Amino acid sequence: MNATPRRTVLVTGSTSGIGEAIAAAFARDGAEVIVNGRDPQRTDGAAERIRATAGNGEIHAVAADVSTAEGVHALTDAVPDVDVLVNNAGIFGAKPAFEITDEEWSRYFETNVLSGIRLTRHYAPRMVQRGWGRVIFISSESAINTPKEMIHYGATKTTQLAVARGFAQEVAGTGVTVNTVLPGPTLTPGVKVFIADRVGDSIPFDEAERRFIAEERPTSLLGRLIRPEEIANLVHYIGSDGASATTGAALRVDGGVVNSIIP
């Protein structure tokens, strides 16, 4: 019986949080994993942390700012082909709706949407030629539940759903799948800062977490923040051979925050 070949996996924005957890999950499975971030030191540091628990996985660090066309070109020049592309790079932040400038809207669109479009445009046709590939966009439950404190973030996450579905239709029947994963509120360094700004930093974080979920995400069925590894578990499956019949889908790992029985 033929062994499954070692897959090459690129996870953008993988220097911490969800991205690092996703990269680590594929590394533990023996994949060749490309860790990516904007800052070379942070990217190297994340690669070292993942390497320490990677088993027989092979880890590489490639620093490039995928929010720009130049950064995407630098990344694709360094890594011409991958088997699994995880478009995880993204930014978020709270701002009153009427104070979001044109420049800020553009920055969110470039980072959260165009980065994935540019990378998919490069890598997916090569996957089609080989007859196998996985493209995964990391969206958010905010794609469905637009938060009034960050509509620019929510709008870009909604756009990812349409982009991924369109690419999935383009590669139909080729052995390549394209899906979107929708995490809910997750315990990452950025979210810790976000919660401190929203709830206050004068109370223990456990209490701040509880208060944030109760007051601002009350539909959560978990009643807590999701852990990055819980997101990574679903992404790892979607990037596997076992998920061959799942494509064009928006898959929730939101802790039940979205109050709907339809994915």
Q: Indicate if the pLDDT at residue 8 is higher than 80.
A: yes
Helix (H, G, I), strand (E, B) or coil at 63: strand
Q: Indicate if the pLDDT at residue 3 is higher than 80.
A: no
Token representation of residue 145: 């539940």
Number of domains in the chain: 2
| DSSP letters spanning 217-257 | -TT-SSSSPBPHHHHHHHHHHHTSGGGTT--S-EEEESTT-
| Count of other CB atoms within 10 angstroms of residue 155 | 18
Residues 93 and 216 in one domain: no
Strand arrangement of the beta sheet that strand 133-138 belongs to: 58-63, 32-37, 8-11, 84-87, 133-138, 176-183, 250-253
Which position has the higher pLDDT, 201 or 209? Answer: 209
Band of the pLDDT at 1, cuts 50, 70, 90? very low
Beta strands in 49-113 (DSSP E): 58-63, 84-87
Catalytic residue among 108, 123, 153, 237: 153
Residues 87 and 163 in one domain: yes
Identify the domain containing residue 154 by its residue range.
Answer: 8-186+226-248
Q: Indicate if the pLDDT at residue 202 is higher than 90.
A: no
Residues 167 and 191 in one domain: no
Strand (E) or helix (H) holding 159? helix 151-170
C-alpha 257/C-alpha 202 separation (Å) is 26
Residues 218 and 125 in one domain: no
C-alpha closest to that of 71 among 43, 105, 100, 104: 43
Do the domain assignments include residue 254?
no
User: How does DSSP classify residue 39?
Assistant: S
C-alpha 38/C-alpha 24 separation (Å) is 18
pTM, to two decimals: 0.95
Q: Catalytic annotation on 123?
A: no
Band of the pLDDT at 2, cuts 50, 70, 90? low
Do the domain assignments include residue 39?
yes
CATH code of the domain covering residue 140: 3.40.50.720
Residues 75 and 191 in one domain: no
Summarised one tens digit per residue, pLDDT across range 114-158 is 999 999 999 999 999 999 999 999 999 999 999 999 999 999 999
Do the domain assignments include residue 262?
no
